[in-house]
Chains A and B, each alone.
Chain A
Amino acid sequence: MLTESEPMTILVVDDDEGHCELIRRNLRRGGVSNPVVIVHRGDDALDYVYGRNGLQPAARPERLLVLLDINMPGRMNGLDVLREIKSAPATRKIPVIMLTTTDDPREISRCYDLGCSVYVTKPIEAQGFIEAIKRLGLFVSIVSLAPHQADLAA
């Protein structure tokens, strides 16, 4: 079910191309048919969110959902990106789902301290995403079940 306004855009930020592809497939499999934008670096993610460096501004911040990997090489890792997004009033309300390869309790608590909404541990499966998105209360606004998925669910 699509909402009447523009659909939410999902920004996937992960340096590992394989992970990005798996996320994309799993989102589809989970029935999420929203536009998915994939970037591999923290800088690129912020450029996209703020519409810098010639990138079109994203959908309005309130129509954006970010899936953010913690461990990324380069100037900005996932925590830096999260900190930046959560410190700017214009973007503070963007829901951020942190993706990590570890369940290190200290890392988890650091993410929550910085204001992440949900935390998903890789490997990520369709079910994990659906759960995370449900917990964000965004299920209705982003998930549209494809017919064969509905059949499978029945």
Chain B
Amino acid sequence: MQSTIPPTETGREALRLFKENRGPLAMLLALILFPFFVALLDGQGPTAVLNNEIGNARFLQGLLIEIFILAIYALSYDLILGITGLLSFGHAMFFAVGAYLTGIAFKSFGWGVGPTLAAVIVAGIVQALLFGLVLPRVKGITFALVTLGFASVFEIIVKSNEMVAYTGADVGLQGVVVPAAWLNTSNERFRLYLIVLFFTFFVYLVYRRFVDSPTGRVCIATRENEGRAQMLGYNTFYFKLTALILSSITAAMAGFFHTVHQPIVSPAVAGLGWTVAALLMILMGGIGTLSGALVGAAIFRLLQFYLERWFGGNATFLIGLVYVLLVMFVPYGVVGTWQARRLDIQRGRERLLRLLHLRP
């Protein structure tokens, strides 16, 4: 049947796809051009970005890479919590396994990038299956506690003195050397920037596609009312497991990039605090919206970075205050609230334009 579609139809289809994804594509283009723009503002030529010269452009690329990694991680949490409705307190383990595995493979085993990536993906599948083992047995908050248990055990193994040769125990994994020169964050930052950016974009598109697919629809149905989804004949277990596996692989990949970008893995990424970070990111952005996870990751990292830079020791207090204020005044996260109030905002803009006599 596929072959009978005339080529013009394919063209129209491509145009439709393009139109639908105009926002993300514009964002992607803007982010590709962003370092050049900063370099121009700084008085450096555009070649400064390509030549990896020290400056604001290079520094902001580093910050953005961190945000992209957080965004991938937050997306993976949004898939299981926001879309599928599984509250897991062990999500940090998904990320930390990727990060530690990459570090250990590079440092202790001397593996190349390819085998390491393969190992990370396999590890992602395995840990999702581990969570899947308890999935049919426990539900709701009990599932959250069991996953917290798994993650705590992993954290304790990572921190224990028996594993110090591999994990560095409390100090964390230090001095990881990325074996591939083309992936080196200090020499080839713009390349890494593009790679992580495109990977983030790719994950976002895959997730959007997943949510729109029949499987994703069943996942949403499971979130809304699991009993009813089962009544309709869906074995919700398999759908939840699919979401878990996809999410786990993504989070492990985020961990992989984390180690590549920052050759230090702190045991903090295995703790409950890191799961809470993911939770906060998607709550700030808007739970279950996917694009909210990206926005939330940006807010999270920028808040942390700039508040610490400007206020030093008082930063944590202010961050706490921002959370409370966000909950009170941006009730469904940035993207969620925007979606809910889009009409109001549009009307407000029209009124503003009329007040300024820009529109009759």
**A and B together in one complex:** no
Chain B residues in the interface with A (C-beta under 8 A): none
Chain A residues in the interface with B (C-beta under 8 A): none
